[in-house]
Structure 1
Amino acid sequence: MLSSYGTLSATAKRLIAARALRSIGQGTLVVDFALYLHALGWTPFAIGSVFMGGLAFGGLLTLFLGPLSDRWGRRRFLLTYEVSQLLAAMIAFLSVNPIWIAATAIVGGFGRGANGSPGPFAPVEQSWLAGEVTPGLRGKIFSLNTALGFLGMALGALVGILPGLVNHGHPQAWSYRLLFLIVVFGSLGCFVLLFGARDEVRSADTCKELDEHAHHSRRRLENTLLLRLVGVNVVNGLGIGLIGPLMAYWFKLRFGVGPSSIAPMMSLAFVVTALAALLSGRLSHRFGIIDAVIWPRLMGLILLLPMALSSSFVWAAVFYILRSGLNRGTIGARQALGVSLVGPNRSGLAASLNTVSMMMPFAVGPIIAGLFFQAGWLLPPFLLSAGLQGGYLYLYHRFFRTHAQGAA
């Protein structure tokens, strides 16, 4: 897979490098942001509401940004994202006012753990990268992109241990605030990388078939596939949203541990996930994207309930680390399939629909989980999530098993 990296264009390498750099700050905040809000005295419902607000805001932006970037180019949108991240992180560093914290968290998507993707601008990144990679290599390169994002998050998660080194492992709110500077400097570095990337806007007419009837037939097939993608993603997004964004908080409530325990565990999970993403890229190239997604996700689903029912932090951490690799290691392969369901002149639209159909139901999950947590019920979100993720795997295999070869 690394040999494939050597054949990439300079622009593709800049995009992948930016993801790796961006992911460091994200890895830090996925460990510490919910714990920071808890240290400020926020309730579980309030914490879940902020996560929901950020995801909903991002989902609305995502709906428009991918198609707009198909017409107006990609670079200007990603540069705008980096500026918004820099400003949001600076305000969060300077203020503890709940209104400002909530506003910056919603704009910045703090604590989501997006493995280096640029939040609501992710479709722009995906379509830009897809345009720099031949369809036959997309599964491998998108998986490599995902892997480097998770390695950056692993490094960031290790940095997230720092607040846990004060006050006997139960830090006060002030010790978390310096971590926002990591996001500030990361955004500056990403801005420099992306500013030097080449962005060629593709005409919508360049990819039309010469035969008008064939063109319309292809467009109808693409629309059908996109509708299927939206449907399965709604199920998957709600299932993952019930447990994903608040996992660090769940460990805090379930076992009474702080950053000094959660950060190393999550860092190791991100390393394992990065390795799994690289393996997923190889599997997708050899066996096809569908098998490279279905079987790891199924094994991850089997581990979900043992993790939730674990009687000790150590066992729960072991199951979490294994599930992380099996579940999230398939992200690159799923992204590659999404952008390969349509022609290159609609890749931004496809990436937007792929992302927003996950993000909007994903946004509902944290507030539902927060209500359960506030009532002291820590198990029901996992039971609901297991049922939804099982339904997603069935639908994903049924809908796309015959449409994945071109993306492998």
Structure 2
Amino acid sequence: MITKHAPDAESIDKSFKFLIYSRAFRSVGIIYMTLAMPLYLAVLGVSLLDIGFVVAGVMLFMVVETLLLGSFGDRYGYRRALRMAEILPAAGAFLIFYSTNIYVIIAAIVIAGIGGTAGGMRGGFSPGMTALVAINHPEEHVRVRKYGLLNAVGAGASIFGALLISLHGYLSTYIGALDAFRYIFLLAGILMLASFVSLMFLKEAEHPRKTTKMMKRSSLKYISKIIMVNSFAGIGIGIALPLLPLWLELMYHASTLDIGIIFGASYILTSLGSYLSSRISYGHDALNISSITRILNGVLLMAMALSPFILIAGIIYSLRSFNAGFGSPNRSAITMRGIDREDFGTASSIQGVSTRASQLSSAVSGYLMDISLPIPMEIGGAFQLASGVLYKYVLKGTKPSE
């Protein structure tokens, strides 16, 4: 067993608020770092192509980290895995603040995991979180509600991460663009430490003993289906979204203030979508919702590529964020639906690994932007649309586990 004295259901439920606090602190810090990363590297003179390769390096590092922490969580507890996942981003943020050496900065970006999309759910998830909610709350509709609340809080807190990127423009007039980025990275590191402290008070249900080195055959069969459909979405996200702040700057000559406003609005709608999903979780088919919302994610990305004005692009992206926020809690629940309890951590980490590995497509994002700015959105949207169609047909027939 993972713990000698298992906490009761009431104490587990009461401690859920500390996970919410953690996701709030984490979201502010991670969102700022994710939005700032491509802009900071561009100010340092790094080319579009090289920025794409840096993001790919981040994804590769996170593949290894996610897999190790998932397996670790199954054996030693998901709380510990969650706490370990907060240390590296904090260390990376402090390194970026203290160093002006480009190679040290890139290494810090990689170990901090500062890459991928800066969507509203970005800060809410880290290795071990999906598994911890699943082990603490066996009923699927309760899981959807909990995931929805975490998404809503994370997305709501992300607004402040967007405000920090807007604050950069103001600070730049006094201390210069580079130092403005660096000092806000310092604040982001402090917020990651606050997330770590919050997790110290989290309770965790007792686990079944791990009986396999990897996972049971039934769990492996189910997660393989999840991996297949999510890989299409991951490829699309990797192509379209990691360099989105820079895309907005190049496509519409957007300032950091413009970018902060767009992402701030998107986080408000992501939070609203997730909250709405948590309120109507009982009695609705999570699989249908997951499929439809992912199809719409793809359609809206392709629509962004056709937008002639930044206002229209911002509105489309915000609508996509609402849709993504509504669908994400359902997809998290679907991921755990066919998994044995002893495999929650490994299965969720393998799924996360596959998504991040497929996001290595970010290496070509900068190259495609060099060719034509609309292309990454068009190709990325097409992959997400395909994933939504596959979701329904590949996963139908799987019943929720209680």
Q: TM-score, normalised by structure 2?
A: 0.89
Could you say which residue in structure 2 is the equivalent of 1:61? Answer: 65
Please, which runs of 5 or more residues in structure 1 have no aligned partner? 1-5, 209-217
Q: 1:242 to 1:329 in 2, by over 3 A?
A: farther
Could you say which residue in structure 1 is the equivalent of 2:349? Answer: 352
Q: Residues of 2 paired with 1:383 and 1:244: CA distance? A: 11
Q: Residues of 2 paired with 1:318 and 1:102: CA distance? A: 33
Check whether the contact 2:66–2:352 (CA below 8 A) recurs between aligned residues.
Answer: yes
Deviation at 1:276, TM superposition (A): 0.7
Could you say which residue in structure 2 is the equivalent of 1:331? Answer: 328
Q: TM-score, normalised by structure 1?
A: 0.88
Q: Residues of 2 paired with 1:22 and 1:114: CA distance? A: 13
Q: Give SS of 1:310's match.
A: coil
Could you say which residue in structure 2 is the equivalent of 1:145? Answer: 150
Q: Which amino acid aligns with 2:357?
A: M
Q: Deviations over 1:163-205 (max 9, x none)?
A: 1125679x62222111112222212212221122234552327
Q: 1:83 to 1:122 in 2, by over 3 A?
A: closer
Q: Aligned-residue CA RMSD in angstroms?
A: 2.7
Q: Residues of 1 paired with 2:311 and 2:21: CA distance? A: 34
Deviation at 1:261, TM superposition (A): 0.6
Could you say which residue in structure 2 is the equivalent of 1:215? Answer: none
Q: Residues of 2 paired with 1:250 and 1:114: CA distance? A: 15
Check whether the contact 1:307–1:319 (CA below 8 A) recurs between aligned residues.
Answer: yes
Verify: 1:79 aligned to 2:95, yes or no. no
Give the counterpart of 1:306 among 281, 303, 318.
303
Check whether the contact 1:20–1:152 (CA below 8 A) recurs between aligned residues.
Answer: yes
Q: 1:200 to 1:90 in 2, by over 3 A?
A: same
Verify: 1:372 aligned to 2:368, yes or no. yes
Could you say which residue in structure 1 is the equivalent of 2:6? Answer: none
Check whether the contact 2:120–2:325 (CA below 8 A) recurs between aligned residues.
Answer: no
Could you say which residue in structure 1 is the equivalent of 2:283? Answer: 286
Deviation at 1:272, TM superposition (A): 0.2
Query: How many residues end up aligned between the 2 structures?
Result: 390
Deviation at 1:243, TM superposition (A): 0.9
Q: 1:337 to 1:123 in 2, by over 3 A?
A: farther
Verify: 1:165 aligned to 2:160, yes or no. no
Q: Which amino acid aligns with 2:332?
A: Q
Could you say which residue in structure 2 is the equivalent of 1:386? Answer: 381
Q: Residues of 2 paired with 1:235 and 1:301: CA distance? A: 11
Q: Deviations over 1:178-233 (max 9, x none)?
A: 11122222122122211222345523279x9xxxxxxxxx9544332111111111
Check whether the contact 1:280–1:330 (CA below 8 A) recurs between aligned residues.
Answer: yes
Give the counterpart of 1:185 among 190, 213, 217.
190
Q: Residues of 2 paired with 1:181 and 1:258: CA distance? A: 22
Deviation at 1:255, TM superposition (A): 0.8
Q: Residues of 2 paired with 1:389 and 1:118: CA distance? A: 21
Percent identity between the aligned chains? 26
Q: Residues of 2 paired with 1:221 and 1:377: CA distance? A: 45
Could you say which residue in structure 2 is the equivalent of 1:110? Answer: 114
Deviation at 1:114, TM superposition (A): 6.6
Could you say which residue in structure 2 is the equivalent of 1:176? Answer: 181
Q: Residues of 2 paired with 1:256 and 1:143: CA distance? A: 35
Please, which runs of 5 or more residues in structure 2 have no aligned partner? 1-9
Q: Deviations over 1:233-279 (max 9, x none)?
A: 11110011111111111001101112111101101101101111122
Q: 1:395 to 1:116 in 2, by over 3 A?
A: closer
> Aligned ranges for residues 106-255 of structure 1 at < 5 Å?
106-112=110-116, 113=118, 115=120, 122-136=126-140, 137-165=142-170, 172-199=177-204, 202-204=207-209, 219-255=216-252
Q: Deviations over 1:327-364 (max 9, x none)?
A: 344222211211232121111112112211111111x2
Q: Residues of 2 paired with 1:383 and 1:60: CA distance? A: 30
Q: Deviations over 1:44-68 (max 9, x none)?
A: 1111111111111001221222122
